[in-house]
Amino acid sequence: MLFTRRLMLGLAMAGSIVSALAVPAMAEGPTEIDLFFPVPVDGKLARDMGTLIKEFNETHPAIKATAVYTGSYDDTLIKTRASIKAGKPPAAVIMSANFLLDMQIENELTNLDGLIAADGTTKEKFLGQFFPALQGNAVIDRSVYGVPFHNSTPLLYINADKAKEAGLDPSKPPQTWAELTDWAKKLTKREGDKVTQWGIAIPCAYDYCGWMMETLTMTNGGRYYNEEFGGEVYYDTPSMLGALTWWNDLVYKHKVHAPGATPGPAVSTSFISGNAAMMMLSTGSLTYVRDNAKFNYKVAFIPRNVRNAVPIGGASLIVPAGVEADKQKAAWTLIKWMTSPEKSAWWSRATGYFAPNMAAYKTPDMVDFLNKNPDAKTAVEQLDVAKPWFATYKTVPVRKNLEDEVMLVLNGKKQPKEALVAAQKAADETLKPYNAETSLKLP
């Protein structure tokens, strides 16, 4: 009876892992699975992923995994959803960590609790491998839907050579918005009306822009969204108004930040070329900076106005709904291998993302690496003040409701208050169907 109930539940949930436990693999050859993977930051992640999957296949002859590049985080979500609708989902996906809630609401995820139990462990012990700050984006309604793989926090990158030239001490980086503004003024260089070196660069493009606004809002004491419920965002609030006003002031009042909405790769290029002396960017770009900067640099916590706080970024490994039983089992083997201490540490060293598995930092190779590259510790140390990443019903459209307005501000076409009122109105409209079915559905 228990088997039947589980099987029915698995079919009803379009791929629940329980069916994977009930049906043995019958394939004569290796189980072939696809892994969708995005490349959201600078560097050679695609080549590194090829190296990782090659090793997996060599050490797991019963499985043949193929890594499929799927573009940005947003592109990966679109392609995953299309594959689910087509009935041919990949067995595993490296999915932006904040998309899981929306996918769970839409019944597009496999609940991983059964696979964890089949390994003879508990959800608590399994999740206990990972930094606590990451669990908020992996657990929904007390069930595990994602396994942290490569995660990030935003960092402040400083060109230490240029800081010294300006009479600043890079060993004592700015800790507040006021100090950062002062540093940016001293680091901005002009020849007549032309700026030859910007003091600070902050990325604003789809995905990155929302993450940066969440970062600034958090450090201004505020919240971006309701962490307990997927139907509310807090765009038109004093804390977000202060955050966007400060960003706008860096551009148009202090003139230490280039006008316009700048994509992440352009920001890192500006920093590497010496056109910007400081930048806020993901720790996922740290290896790229380390490999390409021809100058001394420092990384530091994101400065605060009211408090130190940052959102988690990066991605988790998921199993989409609708994956066949034998492929679910193969995907789970791949996921556990990729998130093991040794592979988690290797991926962190290769990319710059921090390793979500805490034991990774006790492996000999990682201990030696950190001794040689202490800048890799900063994102991990910042986890003490990290909070979950923005996640709601229709995460991407709700995020874009804000990003479109922030871009207008940075392009000089709107003032912050006007933009945030419009963003709130648009987001409330996007969230209306979910609220109608949940918080406004009264007895």
Instruction: Output the CA torsion 280→390→73→425 (10° steps).
Output: -100
How far is the C-alpha of 31 from the C-alpha of 26, rounded, in Å? Answer: 9
Q: Do 385 and 309 touch, CB atoms closer than 8 A?
A: yes
Residues 6+ apart with CB under 8 A from 82: none
What is the rounded CA–CA span in Å between residue 162 and residue 33? 49
Residue 391: predicted pLDDT: 96
Neighbours of 355 (CB within 10 A): 30
- DSSP letter assigned to residue 130: B
* CA distances (Å), origin 146, targets 3, 8, 92, 267, 419: 25, 23, 10, 30, 34
pLDDT at position 171: 96
Cβ neighbours for 120, distance < 8 A, ≥ 6 positions apart: none
* Strands of 70-226, DSSP E: 92-96, 139-140, 143-144, 147-152, 154-159, 189-191, 194-197
DSSP three-state, residue 299 = strand
Share the mean pLDDT of the chain: 92
Q: Which amino acid is at 265?
A: P
Q: Which pLDDT score is estimated for 6? A: 37
Q: What are residue 387's phi and psi, to 5 degrees?
A: -130, 165
Q: What is the distance between the alpha carbons of residues 127 and 106, in angstroms, rounded to a whole number?
A: 24
Q: Answer whether 31-152+313-387 and 154-310+392-438 agree in fold.
A: yes
| Per-residue pLDDT, 337 | 98
Q: 31-152+313-387 in CATH: which number?
A: 3.40.190.10
Low-confidence ranges of the chain (pLDDT < 70): 1-27, 40-43
pLDDT of residue 41: 60
Domain boundaries of the chain, sorted by first residue: 31-152+313-387, 154-310+392-438
Phi-psi region of 115 (alpha: psi -120 to 50; beta: other; left: phi over 0): alpha
**Does domain 154-310+392-438 correspond to CATH entry 3.40.190.10?**
yes
CA atoms within 13 A on the CB side of 288: 23
Separation of alpha carbons 175 and 186, rounded Å: 16
Return the pLDDT at 352: 86
Q: Structure tokens of 92?
A: 């595993």
The reported pLDDT for the residue numbered 17 is 39
Burial 239-253, CB ≥16 within 10 A → b, else e:
bbbbbbbbbbbbbee
